[in-house]
Structure 1
């Protein structure tokens, strides 16, 4: 299922890698696309939306929506 998150605090490539790694830890088959300029993270996964959001938050980023 496709999920889109608005994530605040991603400022560099390291941030993108941290978010991607957190999501891939939940689901190694997840597809992750990050648009830092738009604060957008798009994820294709079977994981629940709140589970993915929690993984992003655990990395220190704010999930706005």
Structure 2
């Protein structure tokens, strides 16, 4: 779990804290953006859709900055 002071700092725009939150959720974001592809011979290959990964990271940053700490 992320400490509250990191969440608070990230919501206030602290770049280091935002990077800490992104690092915390990196594995989950990669899992969500992994795609299964097949080559010409039918072999399965997994790759990360970088466009989707960046969109998810951007969405997370947007939600972090909109978060209001009571």
Per the normalisation by structure 1, the TM-score is: 0.33
Q: Which has the higher strand share?
A: 1
Computing the radius of gyration from Cα coordinates, the structure with the larger value is 2
Q: Which has the higher helix share?
A: 2
